[in-house]
Structure 1
Amino acid sequence: MKKKIVMVLGTVAGLALLGFGIFQSGVSSANLELSSDEIREIVETQYPGEIIELGLEKDTANAYYAVKVESEGKTYDLRLDGNSGEIVSLEEAEKLTSNAEKADDKVDKQKDEKNDNSKKNNGESKKEDSDNAKDNQENTNSNDKKESSNSAIINSDKAREIALSQFSGTIENIERDEDDGQLIYEIEIVNGEDEAEIKINAYTGEVLVVDIDSEDDD
């Protein structure tokens, strides 16, 4: 009986020692060989950006560093082995947009639309002003040409002088008219029983027609 009790106690003691050994092994493996500064250096070397969070995670067998890095507007979650520094996992963190940010985006969008409409209206207004200015300029040029043309027309006194140089007498009638799209002076001159009708270019003073009706012709 005593022998059995000794054997049982020996078995229990062996199991206790085995369990303690396993526990010590687990604790030893969870010990960190790399400090947080070393982990930070590893991350900064491989992933340029700003480390915004660095924490330690432990279990009975392993130890890990959880690191959050922000780079180029994106956020990444890294998990590194605390002993080797090996990157165990890498994920891009989902960026949640707050209601305030959504409201700001909506306001910005409305401002952009308002600015676009304002630019469009200003553009149409400028175009209308430009068209009006162009029309006014064309009207001015047209009036200038008209005035220039009128100023180039010889006056009636000059037309009389030219006509009398072609046929002497008394001018009975003088008119300015268009003949085949050409502006002319039509002048009737009487000398005794003879009559003459003379047509003169109103711009150049050129004598176009001299039509003499003489009683001697009868």
Structure 2
Amino acid sequence: MNRKLIGGTIAGAVILGGAFGADALADQFKTVGIQDQAERTENAQANSPVQQNQDENLLTLEEAKEKALSEFEGVVESIELERQNGRMVYDIDIDNGPEDVDLDMDAVTGEVLRSKTDWDDDDDRDSDVNSKDLLSKQEALDIATAEFTGKPEEIELDDDDGKMIYEIELKNGEQEAEFDIDAVTGDILNMEFDD
């Protein structure tokens, strides 16, 4: 009977010890999983464009525009900040009469990484407006918002028969307004309101 009691006690201890060991091992895996997830989250945040933008000393849009126009003549039509091959880059489009220039500029150093010039077959402009004579987008927006209070939906610089014009769309709730503003004089050439 002592043998049965000793054998049962040993068997119970082995089973109980195995259960505690398995539970401890499972906890260890859970802890590792949590640490791995935390590390992945931390690494993702460190590599996100938002985090890196905070860490980098990026050129402002105006600085990028000035650098681009110091190397290429014309009017800056658009500037977009994007990530290319692990670095922040300004994609800048410049209209130079019959030519369009598309360039990529390092957003930190201002170095032109790539430029491509295309002949603009659709361009019927004969405007000799210097980009320094143009109002900024903000100045044009200020003129429009003095007439209609709203959130800007679109601001575009366009050439209309040799005249540079800002086309601006504003929205306030259900109401919308569209403006054509002379990019040199600031005169409102056209206003349309929709409910």
Higher strand fraction (1 or 2): 2
Structure of greater relative contact order (alpha carbons < 8 Å, 6+ residues apart):
2
TM range (shorter): 0.3 to 0.5
Q: TM-score, normalised by structure 1?
A: 0.41
